[in-house]
Structure 1
Amino acid sequence: MTTLDPRALLKRIPTAPGVYRLLDAGGQVLYVGKAKSLRHRVSSYFSRALNRRQQVMMDQVADVEVTVTGTEGEALLLESNLIKASRPRFNVVLRDDKSYPYIYLSSQDPFPRLAFYRGSRKGPGRYFGPYPSASAVRETLQLIQKLFPVRQCEDSFFRNRSRPCLQYQIKRCSGPCVGFIDAADYAEDVACTVKFLEGRADEVVRELAGEMDRASAALAFERAAVLRDRIQTLQRIQQRQYVTGEGGDLDIVAVAQGGGRHCVLVFFIRAGRNLGSKTFFPQAPSDTDEAALLSGFLAQFYADKPIPGEIIATTAPEERELLEQALGQRAGKRVSIKTRVRAERARWLDLARGNAQVALQSRLGSEADYLRRLDALRGALRLAERPQRIECFDVSHTGGERTVASCVVFDGEGPCKSGYRRFNIEGVASGDDYAAMHQALTRRYTRIKQGEFPFPDLLLIDGGRGQVGAVAEVLQELGAGGVTLVGVAKGADRRPGQEQLWLFGCKAPIILAANSPAMHLIQQIRDEAHRFAITGHRQRRGKARTQSILEGIRGIGPKRRQRLLRQFGGLHGLSRAGVEDIARIEGISSQLAREIYDAFHRDGAE
């Protein structure tokens, strides 16, 4: 049991509402909790029988920190933020750092555009969503193109057209860039698009039907046929996407548990439309019950997302009324969490529950297969135990240009992307992969020695025996012992399945069968490192090739750069100017003019 003195501890804890944090001897947060009375809540850990999980936790607690809040609702909000920030071992932790995509309408433009959008929603225009995935946004945009030909091109493309693009030819755009539609007619298409995205499709159908009748009466049969096709397409979409009897926003949340794992599935219903679902696997102790899991999940999930007015769940979360109050305070409207629903809603809830169970079983199956491959790798490399953390390095460049090294991490559950890192290699000879690897390893393992990351059990290097020897020297210099080092060398024909594994200290390579589970795992890790490295290299190379020479000169900001380019008609004219001509530009001193001139005339400058 903990060595804390309960009496001394409780004397310094107030009875006000707030958040408490249980810390271990190293200051790491083990658990974050909220309380209506901090003193009473913390005292419960010392005055009543604890379950097994709580006993294990309290055996490690060395101190308790508290933060007082004004209300219990504020404490709930602070608790969710602290859990997401510190990811305590004994809390329900949701790994959901990715922002959700939206459909963006530039309503402030004379001819608004529709676009995929992800990020802050503070700019002008309208945002529809969130959608559970990028594919859901793109599918909706494609459907809208078939219904209402509102442009989806970039503004720079739109402003510089002299003839319509292919989208006009295939009837996916009305050609506003070249004046084939006036602003009033285009505004009607935009208005229909907005109504569709707001869930008012029935209203759109009625308006289109009325317009079709008027076109038929005026003998404009081609126009009437176009409107008829739009109505039929819209009705088919309604049959597939709309939830019967729903017209507002709601989320359907289902929980499945088993095998020591937890799965939460969320159906997104926006403006009566089913936008799809997303599955989460929050980290939580295996004995966490469904109500506690759902309470922790909802508090964190809606910390940075729009909150619908209604949430339908498979079970009632702990302290439902308090959670409703906190979410309502955050959303600025009333939020209700319901569990007893009927008719269509009950069918959707059952569907969500079934999908959550399927996702959980799939995850358990994939985890079992991954553990089987880890065990096969342990046997192939004759390791004492199953590796819990594997790191793999790779180097990517084009003819030695803009070299980037990557490090990917796999833990006991698979890829651990929070541990991935890229290293921009500087100061080494062009194409010297040994020196590039030396620099990347030095930077990575210096941070590991400083405690920023844990040491890996297994280190994979994309290379053969010589590369392994060079890496071993780096590890010895850094005092990073105890790491099993393996080089993954391509076979004679450089085909997958013919790789040779060079285990440091062995004189001959280990050759595994092409269908070996261990080989499949090594190939997966090596390919992931290669993908991560080459993506970083292409980004760096692309940025360098599109960067202006002026951007590399200190003292030249956007305004001065624009002034120079406007005065000389572009980079070509500026490159032919003399120092005196450049110095005549407002804001350019003689010294800065000389630097600009030298930048264009040193060897290799273009």
Structure 2
Amino acid sequence: MIALAMVDNFPSSPGIYLMKSAEGSILYIGKARNLKKRVRQYVLGSGDSRLHIRFMVQLVESVEYIVTDTEKEALILENTLIKQHHPKYNINLRDDKTYFSLRMDMKEPYPRLTLVRKVPSDGARYFGPYASATSAKEVLKQLYKVFPLRHYPLATCMARKRPCLYYQIKQCSAPCCGKITAAEYATLAEGAALFLEGKNTEIARIYRAKMNLASQDMRYEDAARYRDLLRAIEVTVERQKMVARGGDSDVFGLYRQGDQVQMAVLHVRGGALTGSRTFLFDWEMETEEGLASFLNEYYDMDTPIPPQILTPLPIPEPAALEELLSEKSGRKVTIAVPQRGPKLEMVKLAEKNAQTAAEERLAKESSSATLLSELADKLHLPAPPRRIECYDISNIQGEMAVGSRVVFIEGKADKSLYRRYRIKGVLQSDDFAMMREVLSRRFRAESDEEKPDLIVVDGGLGQLSVLNAVLEELEVEGVEAAGLAKSRTFRDMESPEISKSDERVFRPGRKNAISLRQNSAPLLLLARIRDEAHRFAVTYHKAVRSKVMVTSELEGVPGIAGKRKKALLVHFGSLKAVKEATVEQLSAAPGMTAKAAKALWEHLHEKQQA
């Protein structure tokens, strides 16, 4: 328990405090404008009076502090120490995926749009954020129909002798082949940037002026092109739903149930709602402090920072966070709590999204628990399998063999726990031996990874026996096993129709397969896990095979070692582009010489002729 006399010696300056247990582990890290005042609130109980906070304070044996010059420095230090120590009572978003953004560097010759995760301060323009690569690619797909920018790296484009297919379908202006001037392309790129920023009125004004000027100069083809661009923009803008006045903002809403907080964020860009995202985290302290801590960590994940952040309730000491975010984004950032009007309606909408996400999550958890209980009953398992792992092997006659592991937690895939294995000890085509090697590496003695409740292997009694043998050899206890054999097709000699057998589930100690109703939820779950393991293994095998093939194509050329191989592929974008390049283009690549370029060109063309 914290002693009041100890807190009286704390300074009244900004800083961070670390609450520690009797064992010395850090329970909670917080920041404060006034260290003495903030920690006294916990000791005297004048802060939040909820039972779980008082329980946490009872666990605190000592409090350490670090003084900083400003509140902003305290914020930065708090975030750094949370990431380093992962305290039990702090928010930790370290495993959350960052957003996708679209990047365009206007200083490049013929700028193009690329999909990126990080948003560094490199002078380029970034647009977004987009919650998934799919949504960002859909934006690009629609954008290219209006603004035909180049799709490929500049070196790849310039190596071409004729325009690509995108030019034929009018989704690229082919700057590589001189089909558009640099000035006209720059106008297209600026139009695309303004469109992504939501400045549609500005685009229309620029293109309308260019259309009128082209018409006056009797450049009717150019005028018609600008007219078509204006029409395409107007049609696209009509599909967007305007939700608020003003520019860009992030709108936050939260819904709390006990120690769990569901957070929703709506992204408003150019007055239009462009996307949303939800987060779930455990939080046992005051809700306001949790919101402030969340914002600090959320905008530390390479997330685009808008000029305005709207929250449902005031956070403690917002000025320091505003200063920190303004410094990161390079422009003034304000944090506001709307009281009326459209902005308050947006906050209420965000809160409704948070509540809906929490209710949907609870419904899914209930459904998942029911499904796993049914699976345990059908397979005669001692308990519902919370963690299920599945393994698969992929190879071509024993060559370039790989294994895969996928993990499902509570019936859902957890891709952070997926693993890939390069088979090292088996040189012939022996799937059983390969499976033995993968499982042995998974359950090696020094591994401290959590054990699964159930392991599923792709196959019947043969694969299942290998799994059982490995588990017995390594003395792995408390892990159930099952084999899922694919359905087989066959045709009766007396019937022209092709029949398909049911998928079969095998368990140790049973000679016959367990009968599960086809298309039942437990069987579909097992099939989904099996198919995901197969997909993951095949994807890795293709990557390995492709790398080996590319390496072999460039093997044996004098002067082309590992670094030059990599530099060539990065510069040209693909092995095909390297083959199509001239000697002059090869010699102009980074790290290449005229002698090495000539040797490589002759080597590749001798292979083609052969």
Q: TM-score, normalised by structure 1?
A: 0.81
Instruction: Using the TM superposition, name which of 161-170 and 46-55 deviates more.
Output: 46-55
**CA deviation profile, 1:510-544 (whole Å, cap 9, x unmatched):** 22112433222222222222222222222222212
**2:76 corresponding residue in structure 1:** 77
- Tell me if the contact between 1:94 and 1:281 (Cα under 8 Å) persists in the aligned partners: no
Residue 577 of structure 2 is aligned to residue 572 of structure 1: no
Q: Which amino acid aligns with 2:160?
A: R
Structure 1 residues 385 and 558: CA distance shift in structure 2, 3 A: closer
Query: 1:284: Cα distance to partner?
Result: 0.8
Write out aligned runs for 1:5-16 (5 A): none
**2:346 corresponding residue in structure 1:** 348
- Tell me if the contact between 1:14 and 1:38 (Cα under 8 Å) persists in the aligned partners: yes
Write out aligned runs for 1:88-107 (5 A): 88-94=87-93, 97-107=96-106
Q: Which amino acid aligns with 2:469?
A: E
Task: Give distance in 1, aligned partners of 2:384 and 2:309.
Answer: 42
- Tell me if the contact between 1:131 and 1:268 (Cα under 8 Å) persists in the aligned partners: no
- Tell me if the contact between 1:282 and 1:297 (Cα under 8 Å) persists in the aligned partners: no
**Where does the alignment leave 5 or more consecutive residues of structure 1 unmatched?**
577-605
Structure 1 residues 60 and 555: CA distance shift in structure 2, 3 A: farther
**1:481 corresponding residue in structure 2:** 477
**1:467 corresponding residue in structure 2:** 463
**CA deviation profile, 1:322-351 (whole Å, cap 9, x unmatched):** 433443344454322122154443443344
Task: Give distance in 1, aligned partners of 2:208 and 2:132.
Answer: 33
Write out aligned runs for 1:149-548 (5 A): 149-218=148-217, 220-241=219-240, 243=242, 246=245, 248-258=247-257, 262-270=261-269, 272=270, 274=272, 276-285=274-283, 290-303=287-300, 304-340=302-338, 342-412=340-410, 414-446=412-444, 449-451=446-448, 453-493=449-489, 498-548=502-552
Instruction: Using the TM superposition, name which of 327-336 and 551-560 deviates more.
Output: 551-560
Query: 1:307: Cα distance to partner?
Result: 1.8
Query: 1:318: Cα distance to partner?
Result: 4.4
**2:496 corresponding residue in structure 1:** none
Task: Give distance in 2, aligned partners of 1:40 and 1:216.
Answer: 71
Task: Give distance in 2, aligned partners of 1:217 and 1:90.
Answer: 69
- Tell me if the contact between 1:267 and 1:274 (Cα under 8 Å) persists in the aligned partners: no
- Tell me if the contact between 1:250 and 1:312 (Cα under 8 Å) persists in the aligned partners: yes
Structure 1 residues 244 and 115: CA distance shift in structure 2, 3 A: same
The number of equivalent residue pairs is: 570
Over aligned residues, Cα RMSD in angstroms? Answer: 3.9
Structure 1 residues 329 and 225: CA distance shift in structure 2, 3 A: closer
- Tell me if the contact between 1:372 and 1:517 (Cα under 8 Å) persists in the aligned partners: no
Structure 1 residues 72 and 159: CA distance shift in structure 2, 3 A: same
Task: Give distance in 2, aligned partners of 1:542 and 1:359.
Answer: 41
Task: Give distance in 1, aligned partners of 2:160 and 2:359.
Answer: 52
**1:581 corresponding residue in structure 2:** none
SS at match of 1:235: helix
- Tell me if the contact between 2:423 and 2:438 (Cα under 8 Å) persists in the aligned partners: yes
Query: 1:369: Cα distance to partner?
Result: 1.6
Structure 1 residues 328 and 174: CA distance shift in structure 2, 3 A: closer
**CA deviation profile, 1:394-428 (whole Å, cap 9, x unmatched):** 22223322222222222237322222211111121
- Tell me if the contact between 1:327 and 1:335 (Cα under 8 Å) persists in the aligned partners: yes
Task: Give distance in 2, aligned partners of 1:470 and 1:417.
Answer: 25
**2:31 corresponding residue in structure 1:** 34
Q: Which amino acid aligns with 1:568?
A: A
Structure 1 residues 143 and 484: CA distance shift in structure 2, 3 A: closer
Structure 1 residues 373 and 142: CA distance shift in structure 2, 3 A: same
Task: Give distance in 2, aligned partners of 1:14 and 1:425.
Answer: 59
**CA deviation profile, 1:234-267 (whole Å, cap 9, x unmatched):** 2233344474774533112222345975432222
Query: 1:159: Cα distance to partner?
Result: 0.8
Question: Which residue among 535, 544, 563 is the counterpart of 1:558?
Answer: 563
Task: Give distance in 2, aligned partners of 1:504 and 1:266.
Answer: 48
**CA deviation profile, 1:70-99 (whole Å, cap 9, x unmatched):** 434323333334445555443333366323
**1:595 corresponding residue in structure 2:** none
- Tell me if the contact between 2:14 and 2:33 (Cα under 8 Å) persists in the aligned partners: yes
Task: Give distance in 2, aligned partners of 1:524 and 1:229.
Answer: 47
Query: Aligned residues: percent identity?
Result: 36
SS at match of 1:112: coil
**CA deviation profile, 1:480-534 (whole Å, cap 9, x unmatched):** 2121222222344499993333223344432211243322222222222222222
**CA deviation profile, 1:41-100 (whole Å, cap 9, x unmatched):** 566656549644335546766776655544343233333344455554433333663232
SS at match of 1:526: helix
Query: 1:275: Cα distance to partner?
Result: 6.2
Q: Which amino acid aligns with 1:435?
A: A
Query: 1:311: Cα distance to partner?
Result: 0.5
Instruction: Using the TM superposition, name which of 534-543 and 132-141 deviates more.
Output: 132-141
Q: Which amino acid aligns with 1:542?
A: S
- Tell me if the contact between 1:136 and 1:275 (Cα under 8 Å) persists in the aligned partners: no
Structure 1 residues 400 and 250: CA distance shift in structure 2, 3 A: same
Task: Give distance in 2, aligned partners of 1:24 and 1:158.
Answer: 61
Task: Give distance in 1, aligned partners of 2:118 and 2:2.
Answer: 48
**Where does the alignment leave 5 or more consecutive residues of structure 2 unmatched?**
491-498, 566-590
SS at match of 1:130: strand
Q: Which amino acid aligns with 1:97?
A: D
- Tell me if the contact between 2:308 and 2:335 (Cα under 8 Å) persists in the aligned partners: yes
- Tell me if the contact between 1:491 and 1:498 (Cα under 8 Å) persists in the aligned partners: yes
Task: Give distance in 2, aligned partners of 1:7 and 1:479.
Answer: 53
Task: Give distance in 1, aligned partners of 2:467 and 2:4.
Answer: 54
